[in-house]
Structure 1
Amino acid sequence: MSLTPHHSAAPDRYNTDELTNLATLYYIDGLTQEELSKRFEVSRATIGRMLRRAQEEGIVEIRVRQSPKQSDDLQHALVQRFGIMRAILTPDHTDPDKQRGMLASLVAGYLDKTLQDGMIVAVGMGRNINAVSDHAISTASRSCTFVCAIGGSYLGGEAMNPDHICRRLAAQFGGESETLYAPALVGNPEIVRQLTENLTVRQTLDKARRADLALVGVGDLSADSNMVRMGWFSPSELAEAKRIGTVGDLMGYDFLDIHGRSAATQIQGRVVGLSVSDLKRIPNVIAMASEPSKITAILGALRTGAINTLATSVSNATTLLQMDEAISLGRQTIVSGVS
């Protein structure tokens, strides 16, 4: 291998084969930077720059595993506390995009082990769900069907288009995708009713309801949430939603309070997609939320009883357990005071 920069490109720009070869020798074969420097007759500084370049270009993905015992204890506590089947937890990262990517990588790995021929996967939208399609790498050939479980939106880019996400998941894991030919948000509940009576829309939603697995997001009402950024809530609607106790949404369809009950927001009933009651009939609903701003929304979503697998960060898991415990103790105190 010749470690010669391509001067027609940026300085210290090496081709993918060179970076892959070097990264393999360093990270897998265990050669030191000093050994690589001597082997290829270049400086250690050059070797270091190439290894950093391999990370930047995605050739190398470094993961830090949380203490197995700590992670296992948290997973067990979440399963016991909320009655879910499993928890997928990622270590914490200060960069929200990297945090999202780390979680997506774990969920993609879980899907790779779980998906089988003939399975139907209902797919939601959002940045966490979209990130799974970025990190999906299949180790086996399958024939699955990835179905849009909510309509799409031209606002928000690829992350807000389940059709785009479904197509990428089908391309990576194997199978086909099915589009829901409807917008995610409409003007009023009557339009939702009319759309869901349309044969094409109804058939797709019915297939999503028969899914073996659903991949959905949990949304919140922070300034950075998709709903707020896309203008689904006007300032007055947002203020009113918060005033009546709305903490977020499950899959963009049902808006919830912290107890998992439906919140009477002005946007409720205007989204075309699967409801919480629909999700409860799907054997494995994977809910993703990597952001720390979503704690109360995650808690509300867990309390609906629709979630089977929770995918989030270690710090979110810890805070969830503490918050649920505090709320439970508060209720007990009130009951004791009344009695």
Structure 2
Amino acid sequence: MSLTPNYSVPLDRYNSDELTSLATLYYIDGLTQEELSKKFGVSRATVGRMLRRAQNEGIVEIRVRQSPKQSDDVERALVQRFGILRAILTPDHADPEKQRGMLASLVAGYLDKTLQDGMIVAVGMGRNINAVSDHAISTAPRECAFVCAIGGTYQGGEAMNPDHIARRLAAQFGGQSETLYAPALMGSPEVARQLSANPTVRQTLDKARRADLALVGVGDMSADSNMVRMGWFSPSELAEAKRIGTVGDLMGYDFLDIHGRSAATQIQGRVVGLSVNDLKRIPNVIAMASEPSKVTAILGALRTGAINTLATSVSNATTLLQMEDAINIGRQQIVGEGK
């Protein structure tokens, strides 16, 4: 290869193997961009563009670790305050997609360390859960069963189909996926109960109920929420749900108020999938929410007692603790005034 930098080499000349080689030399072996410029016969500016392309194509993942003390302090406070087993916290990022990807990468790493042969994983839906399947990298093959814990929907794309997510997780970590042959939302609670009692549907749901681990999302009631984008709530129904105190949902099934109690929305009871009570019987329920708009919904979800592992951002976690403190102070003032 020529040692004279060629300033006119197009980036698409290089395939993924060559980009991987360059990225390895830079990030692992510590070569400088000047040394890479000479080695690959391109300008330093081209080397920089090649490294950025390696990031954009997923060949390289850049992770910034939060201050260990800050993360540890917040995690300990969450565990103590809400009685969960652990918190997976990611640094904050202004870009929502990058924030979601950072959190998904941490959860994928946790799964890689936790999953063992024979485990059953109940899989929910949503953009955060789907992102985990994007970032899943297995260090060793294993035999797990990834089971859909809620029905699917054609609206909202792949992120709204647990079957798609379960298949990708099984392909990355090893094992098999099991489809729940049912739509997520039915026309009435009675139809949802009848479908849930169907032998084929019940068999899959019963397997999901026996899961060792569940991967679920927390939804909010914003205009950008999954439920609104899928058309499950009209603007007037969304306003009514908020009026009666609904703050979000857990796994798309149960709609909750800030105290973790069931909220009587117009679709409550019409979803085919695992309920909060089902989740309470699963040893490790990982609830994910990267968006700052979901803090109130996360608080409601935590108060159900169904969550064992919370995956969110440091700022979300800090706000959660502040909200809990404010609510507790308000309760104490009300009690004091009543004496």
Q: So what's the TM-score if we normalise by structure 2?
A: 0.96
Q: 1:273 to 1:2 in 2, by over 3 A?
A: farther
Query: CA separation in 2, counterparts of 1:173 and 1:34?
Result: 38
Query: CA separation in 2, counterparts of 1:197 and 1:2?
Result: 69
- Report the CA distance between 1:45 and its aligned residue: 1.3
What SS does the corresponding residue of 1:71 show, helix, strand or coil?
Answer: helix
Matched, 1:90 2:90: yes
Match of 1:178 in 2: 178
Matched, 1:321 2:318: no
Query: CA separation in 2, counterparts of 1:171 and 1:58?
Result: 17
Residue 311 of structure 2 aligns to which amino acid in structure 1? Answer: A
- For 1:183-332, what aligned pairs fall within 5 Å after superposition? 183-332=183-332
- Report the CA distance between 1:41 and its aligned residue: 3.6
Q: CA RMSD in A?
A: 1.5
- Report the CA distance between 1:2 and its aligned residue: 7.1
Match of 2:11 in 1: 12
Match of 1:31 in 2: 31
For 1:115-156, what per-residue CA distance to the aligned partner results, in whole angstroms no more than 9, with x for missing partners?
Answer: 011100000000000111111111111111011000000000
- For 1:85-124, what aligned pairs fall within 5 Å after superposition? 85-124=85-124
- Report the CA distance between 1:327 and its aligned residue: 0.7
Query: CA separation in 2, counterparts of 1:39 and 1:97?
Result: 35
**Structure 1 gaps, min length 5:** none
Residue 260 of structure 2 aligns to which amino acid in structure 1? Answer: G
- Report the CA distance between 1:76 and its aligned residue: 0.6
Query: CA separation in 1, counterparts of 2:211 and 2:106?
Result: 21
Query: CA separation in 1, counterparts of 2:93 and 2:135?
Result: 17
- Report the CA distance between 1:237 and its aligned residue: 1.2
- Report the CA distance between 1:43 and its aligned residue: 1.9
The answer to whether the Cα contact below 8 Å between 2:33 and 2:47 also exists between their aligned partners in 1 is: yes
Query: CA separation in 1, counterparts of 2:173 and 2:86?
Result: 22
Residue 111 of structure 1 aligns to which amino acid in structure 2? Answer: L
- Report the CA distance between 1:57 and its aligned residue: 1.4
What SS does the corresponding residue of 1:37 show, helix, strand or coil?
Answer: helix
Query: CA separation in 1, counterparts of 2:174 and 2:310?
Result: 24
Q: Which moved more, 1:30-39 or 1:181-190?
A: 30-39
Identity of aligned residues (%): 87
What SS does the corresponding residue of 2:11 show, helix, strand or coil?
Answer: coil
Residue 72 of structure 1 aligns to which amino acid in structure 2? Answer: D
For 1:86-121, what per-residue CA distance to the aligned partner results, in whole angstroms no more than 9, with x for missing partners?
Answer: 000011111111111111110010000000111000
The answer to whether the Cα contact below 8 Å between 2:250 and 2:276 also exists between their aligned partners in 1 is: yes
- Report the CA distance between 1:51 and its aligned residue: 1.3
For 1:30-66, what per-residue CA distance to the aligned partner results, in whole angstroms no more than 9, with x for missing partners?
Answer: 1111222233343211211211111121111111100
Query: CA separation in 1, counterparts of 2:41 and 2:275?
Result: 62
Match of 2:165 in 1: 165
Residue 200 of structure 1 aligns to which amino acid in structure 2? Answer: T
The answer to whether the Cα contact below 8 Å between 2:2 and 2:41 also exists between their aligned partners in 1 is: no
- Report the CA distance between 1:12 and its aligned residue: 2.1
**Structure 2 gaps, min length 5:** none
Query: CA separation in 2, counterparts of 1:124 and 1:42?
Result: 47
Residue 194 of structure 1 aligns to which amino acid in structure 2? Answer: Q
What SS does the corresponding residue of 2:130 show, helix, strand or coil?
Answer: helix
Match of 1:62 in 2: 62
Residue 116 of structure 2 aligns to which amino acid in structure 1? Answer: Q
Residue 297 of structure 1 aligns to which amino acid in structure 2? Answer: A
Query: CA separation in 2, counterparts of 1:2 and 1:79?
Result: 58
The answer to whether the Cα contact below 8 Å between 2:128 and 2:289 also exists between their aligned partners in 1 is: yes
- Report the CA distance between 1:261 and its aligned residue: 0.4
Query: CA separation in 1, counterparts of 2:125 and 2:262?
Result: 20
Task: Report how many aligned residue pairs link the two structures.
Answer: 336
For 1:180-232, what per-residue CA distance to the aligned partner results, in whole angstroms no more than 9, with x for missing partners?
Answer: 11110011100011101100011111110000000000000101110011110
Match of 1:77 in 2: 77
What SS does the corresponding residue of 1:246 show, helix, strand or coil?
Answer: coil
Query: CA separation in 2, counterparts of 1:2 and 1:289?
Result: 50
Residue 232 of structure 2 aligns to which amino acid in structure 1? Answer: W
